[in-house]
Every structure is written in structure tokens, then in C-alpha cells.
Amino acid sequence: MAAQSTSDRIHTIAEAGLCIALFAVLQYLNIRLPINIAGGTISLSMIPIVLFALLYGPGWGMVVGALCGLIDLMLEPFIVNVVQMFLDYPLAFAAVGLAGIVAPLIRQALAQGKKVPAAAFALIATLLGASFRFIPAFISGVIFWGSNAPKGQSIYLYSVVYNLSYLAPAGFICGAVLAIVAPIVLPPLSRRHKISSNVEATHD
């Protein structure tokens, strides 16, 4: 995470708060499949995390993602122990923030006025975020939720099927939405950050 001016830090904190609040609303409006007896829902809640990560990069994206995970813990707690709680909530959603590794590519595409590639990068970023979220969820599924596997089924296969049952549709749906929204929302937000930084510099 790069050093920020005072005004930039204020903007970052304010926008982080808005993203976390939006996450809470979107996570509350969800669909739970019959298979998901130990948590995991299909929702649009990854959208604000990915959008924030594309604006500020993976570092800040992971911070906001972890905070969103704690919000999800309060909304839908499925707790076995501290390690499982860490894997399924703050770490899983922090991993979504790694979508920000695509931020330089989408910024370059938008700077060149290439909205179609930018939309594709937004979709890729979201799917990457969902894939990174799958890793701690899979580990937790194997170690802590394997006892829920049907008789005779591998706990590894069970964890894959269980976690993909909600992450795959959620990832593609969020990606489709961000492919439309990100090329529209990111340019004005990025310009505002540049303007605020320039104003701060002239005052210094």
C-alpha cells in the first residue's frame, strides 16, 4: 500500500466504509442452496470488495475484504473454532481483495479509452477474487466440515463441490455485473483521487 496524503487517506477510509456497508446489504440479500448447510451463499457481496481493490490495489482490497469477513461473521456465524472462523471469514474475504492485482491492467485499458478490455479485466479480476476465496474455504471444508460429506465420498471432493456450489455462480454473477459497472464507475473515481492528490501537493 503506497503512502497517501491526508485528503487521500480520508477518501480511502470513507470509501472503505461505504464498501463495507454495501457489502453488508448485499450479503444479507442472498440465496442459500440446500447443500450449503454450514454456510456459504450466492450473493452480490463480492462486488464492493473487488471494486475497491481495483481502485486501490490488492493491499487495501485485502484490508477491506477482511473487515467485510468480520461483518459476515456477525451476520451468519458458523463457528467450530478460532482457526475455522479465521479461514471462513476474514481470510476468505481478504483473499477476494487480491483481485486488485488486475488493477494496473484495467487502469491502463481505461486510460486508453478501451472499455471492452476493461470490462474483460473486471470479469477476470472478480473470478480471480472468487478463486482466491475458494482456497481457505476448501481447506476449512476438508479439515472442519468433512464429517458432513455423504458416506463413501472423499472429503476433498465434498469440499470442492460444496464450495464451488456457491462460489462459482456468485463469481460469475458478480463478474458480469462488474464488467458493466467498473468501466463506468472507476474513471471518475480515479480522476477524483488524482485531483485531490494534486490539490494536497499544491498546498504543501
pLDDT digits (tens, 9 = 90+) for 10-66: 888 999 999 999 999 999 999 999 989 888 999 999 999 999 999 999 999 999 999
Q: In this structure, is residue 17 part of a structural domain?
A: yes
176: domain CATH number is 1.10.1760.20
Q: In this structure, is residue 200 part of a structural domain?
A: no
Nearest to 126 by CA among 59, 164, 166, 176: 176
Q: What total number of domains does the chain contain?
A: 1
For position 4, what pLDDT does the model report?
60
Q: In this structure, is residue 198 part of a structural domain?
A: no
> DSSP letters of the chain?
-----HHHHHHHHHHHHHHHHHHHHHHHS-B--TT-BTB--B-STHHHHHHHHHHH-HHHHHHHHHHHHHHHHHHS---SSHHHHHIIIIIHHHHHGGGGGGHHHHHHHHHTT-HHHHHHHHHHHHHHHHHHHHHHHHHHHHHHSGGGSPTTS-HHHHHHHHHHHHHHHHHHHHHHHHHHHHHHHHHHHHHHHHHHHHHHHHH-
Q: In this structure, is residue 199 part of a structural domain?
A: no
**Percent with pLDDT over 90 in the chain:** 82
Mean pLDDT of 94-114: 96
Q: In this structure, is residue 186 part of a structural domain?
A: yes
Q: In this structure, is residue 61 part of a structural domain?
A: yes
Domain of 188 in residue numbering reads as 6-192
Cβ burial 80-92 (10 Å sphere, 16+ → b, else e): eeeebbbbbbbbb
Q: In this structure, is residue 158 part of a structural domain?
A: yes
Q: In this structure, is residue 197 part of a structural domain?
A: no
**Percent with pLDDT over 70 in the chain:** 90
